Amino acid sequence: MGPINEAHVQQPGLAVVEIAAEDDQTALAVQELLATRWATATTDRTTRDPGQPGVRLRCYLDVRQELTT
């Protein structure tokens, strides 16, 4: 994964979450759980780093915007 862009963390309440998991389904499920709680910029794919186990996924959250049910 590349470096975190400063714009994604420039204000309080903004966060970058990196998920490491054994497989795509697990990583995407964790992202979905985060997205049910906060405004989240999601992705539909994971990445694999050569020589590293599992998959990685990065998503961006705005915890200032709490979702209502």
Residue range 8-27, pLDDT digits in tens: 567 888 888 999 999 999 99
Residue 54 within a domain: yes
What's the predicted TM-score (pTM) here? 0.77
Tell me how crowded residue 42 is: count the other CB atoms within 10 A of its CB. 13
Residue 32 within a domain: yes
Instruction: Give the domain extent around 40.
Output: 12-66
Q: What is the pLDDT of residue 4?
A: 64
Residue 59 within a domain: yes
CA distance 53 to 32: 22
CA distance 20 to 29: 12
If one counts the domains in the chain, the total is 1
Summarize the confidence of residues 16-39 as an average pLDDT: 93
Residue 7 within a domain: no
Residue 3 within a domain: no
Strand order in the sheet with 55-66: 14-21, 55-66, 38-41
Tokens 């759980």 locate to 33
Residue 46 within a domain: yes
pLDDT tens by residue, 42-62: 888 999 989 999 999 999 888
Residue 23 within a domain: yes
